[in-house]
Amino acid sequence: MAALVALAGCTKYSVECELMVQPRVMVSQGSDPRTPAYMARTYVWYIDKKEHLDHKWRPESYADADAGIVRHRDTGEEWSYGLMGSQNSDGLISITLTSSPVLLVATDPINRLYAWRTFDFKVPLDRVIIPVTFRTYYTPEQFPYKDGEWMVYRDESVNAPQEEGER
């Protein structure tokens, strides 16, 4: 009987949570904030509690974010190929999580914007919807901006000044 009690104390339970990222796009101030950002991508990496708090892992560029690559800000270490979600016809991107916390990266390839945030759930959840809004009308000086817990950036190469001889 004692062996059964000891075994029960060592059992690990898997908790699943369906994470739904809701990427939206606003093309002008006052436009409908519920317009889905179609063709958006979302990647997820499992991180530890310390990484959840110190925000050392993040994409360093649009190219990294779109390719599913994040880098550690201090060491330069690279993680690639996080879990990638799939977008449904309503524009929601679904990913099944089995633990927490996680680093989320979302991209809007049409407008070349990207965003990242961490997410931590402490109790079993069936489904969580996390929206992110890509504001395409913002000027380069307004980036990055905060959208809830998301930090949103634009691709630095878009509208970059051309060097002499490239014209």
Beta strands in 4-163 (DSSP E): 17-26, 41-46, 57-58, 69-72, 78-80, 83-84, 86-87, 93-97, 102-108, 113-119, 127-135, 145-147, 150-154
User: What pLDDT, in 10s, does the model give residues 102-141?
Assistant: 999 999 999 999 999 999 887 777 889 999 999 999 999 9
For residue 88, with 0-12 CB atoms within 10 Å meaning exposed, 13-18 middle and 19 or more buried, which class applies? exposed
> Are the C-beta atoms of residues 59 and 42 closer than 8 Å to each other?
no
The tens digit of pLDDT for each residue in 62-94 reads 999 999 999 998 898 998 877 888 899 999 999
Name the CATH superfamily housing domain 14-154: Carboxypeptidase-like, regulatory domain (2.60.40.1120)
